[in-house]
Amino acid sequence: MVENKGAPGVDGLTVLELKPWLQAHWLNIKQALLAGEYMPAAVRKVEIPKPQGGVRTLGIPTALDRLIQQGLHQILQPLFDPGFSGSSYGFRPGRNAHQAVEAARSYVAEGKRWAVDLDLEKFFDRVNHDVLMARVARKVKDERVLKLIRRYLEAGLMEGGVAMARSEGTPQGGPLSPLLSNILLDDLDRELERRGHRFCRYADDCNIYVGSYRTGQRVMQGITAFLEQRLKLKVNADKSAVARPWERKFLGYSMTGHRKPKLRIAPQSRKRLTEKIRLALRRGRGQSIQQVIEGLNPVLRGWMAYFRLTEVKSVLEELDGWLRRKLRTLLWRQWKRVYTRAANLMKAGLGKVRAWQSATNGHGPWWNGGASHMNHAYPNAWFDRMGLVSLLDTQRRFQSVS
């Protein structure tokens, strides 16, 4: 928890300040916990934009409540996790999104070439407390623990100095929320297994793989009824669909329509990266190109670490080329004056006549960023020397290590 640091809650107490504070107050906190009388503080409401639009509401507990939730998690995880489905991959030790994506591909390769893509509407905001606590109580018998968990679920959401009571939902932001989501959705996993379905679930993102469109429609109808009646969860009909797996995305990936499908980066994921790069470049117009590259590299490495499973390399080649053109365009913008452009082109190795012709061509920055004079002056090797991360080369290195 100290390593992650994290934003303070409503009391303003940081993680680094927590230890000395506990030395003075822990005895009273411990007594309240053992007596079942501890009352969590309200959580601080934070809204962050979703990649697909809209906002995601986070509830940031105080540093003390994060510590207590982490303690609960360490006790409850070993109690519940061994009984979870093998098709559940999210927020579990030894499991990750890559395993889920590879399992999805294997089901399609088996011939399950239709996907029932379920979207749970505002899942973390709509969790029914009574339904969830009934599932927790299956394995937790200590009334003090059950009461404490419910109090965390019902802790007020603080915004603008006013705490609003909650009767449903488990806002993301606390250490306990991911485990509670798995406890609730384990009933969905068991129902899918009982029906003999192939599926992959990562938190509230669930895809079921079937052999025909008609079967998919029947499964969508049946599972929607199960979720709404048994778990009191609502399926978003507008975002859910029965479709070919290569027409949908799962955890940022899609796949090709081959008999043995290949994993590829979903178009939406590519778009999110380019938008992030555009924003970084707008911020970097007053920086040196070296500073811009140093700011971009962690983003590129992190993105490629996640999408290293992609088998369609052309997307990476296109993104590498597009980024270098954007950086050449940035250089052209920064030079501004005709004389500066001509001087820098000559400095980069162009002849005087060609440099002046290029500097006075009258075209805009994007055109010049892709023109032969800028490619000649600043070839790919120049960006390599500047240390710019290549997505394609990075993926090759990941593959050679694995």
pLDDT above 70 for 258: yes
pLDDT above 70 for 210: yes
| pLDDT for 219 | 97
Q: Mean pLDDT throughout 197-202? A: 97
Q: Which residues of 14-36 are buried (b: 16+ CB within 10 A; e: fewer)?
A: ebeebeeeeeeeeeeeeeeeeee
The label of the residue with tokens 């890559």 reads: 98
Helix axes 63-80, 177-194, angle to 10 degrees: 30
Q: What is the largest CA-CA distance in the chain?
A: 85
Q: Mean pLDDT throughout 17-45? A: 90
Determine contact, residues 209/198, Cβ cutoff 8 Å: yes
β-strands 198-202, 162-164 pairing? unpaired
Q: What is the pLDDT of residues 37-70, one digit of tens each?
A: 999 988 887 777 766 666 677 788 889 999 999 9
CA distance linking residue 326 with residue 316, whole number of Å: 15
Q: What is the pLDDT of residues 87-106, one digit of tens each?
A: 999 999 999 999 999 999 99
Residues of the chain with pLDDT > 70, as a percent, come to 94
Q: Mean pLDDT throughout 319-347? A: 96
CA atoms within 13 A on the CB side of 365: 13
CA distance linking residue 202 with residue 204, whole number of Å: 6
| pLDDT for 213 | 98
Determine contact, residues 129/19, Cβ cutoff 8 Å: no
Write down the mean pLDDT value for the chain. 91
Q: What is the pLDDT of residues 99-147, one digit of tens each?
A: 999 999 999 999 999 999 999 988 887 889 999 999 999 999 999 999 9
Task: Quickly count: other Cβ atoms within 10 Å of residue 353's Cβ.
Answer: 8
H-run or E-run covering 198: strand 198-202
How many angstroms separate the Cα of 328 from the Cα of each of 322, 333, 347, 365? 10, 9, 15, 9
Q: Mean pLDDT throughout 242-247? A: 97
Strand partners, 114: 210
Task: Output 238 or 1, whichever has higher pLDDT.
Answer: 238
What pTM was estimated for this model as a whole? 0.88
Q: Distance between alpha carbon 71 and the CA centroid of its chain, in Å?
A: 25
The first and second tokens of residue 116, run together, are 């029932």
Residue 247: DSSP 8-state: G
β-strands 114-119, 157-159 pairing? unpaired
| pLDDT for 397 | 84
Q: Mean pLDDT throughout 6-30? A: 84
